[in-house]
Amino acid sequence: MTKTLPITKARADLPLLVNKAKTRLDEYVITVNGIPAAALISAAEYESWKETNEITSDPGLMKAIKEGEEDFKKGRFITFEQLKKDLKLNV
């Protein structure tokens, strides 16, 4: 759940908020004069959002993902076990 707090409270509690964002994945919207101005999220969550944005911004990659989803729906795939057999791997 995202919590909203004024910048004065965020400034006073910054070390605690950063720790909670990092360890519990808490999210905070920080307001200035009652207006949302910034967000505090974990670095891991931020990196995940950046990666998602990069993927969704790549038309070729999105097309490949959609084609893969269609292949899966139509049963055009092999299992990992079958792949190991096909490649004669004893993993």
Task: Report residue 3 CA to chain centroid gap.
Answer: 19
Q: Are residues 67 and 38 in the same domain?
A: no
Domain that holds residue 13: 2-44
Alpha helices in 25-76 (DSSP H): 43-56, 59-73
Its pTM stands at 0.69
Q: What is the pLDDT of residues 19-68, one digit of tens each?
A: 999 999 999 999 999 999 999 999 999 999 999 999 999 999 999 999 99
Q: Which of these, 80, 83, 5, 75, lies nearest to 40 by C-alpha position?
A: 5
Q: Total structural domains in the chain?
A: 2
Q: Are residues 7 and 32 in the same domain?
A: yes
In a domain, 88, yes or no: yes
Do 16 and 28 form a contact (C-beta atoms < 8 A)?
no
Q: Are residues 37 and 69 in the same domain?
A: no
In a domain, 7, yes or no: yes
Residue 5, H or E segment: strand 2-6
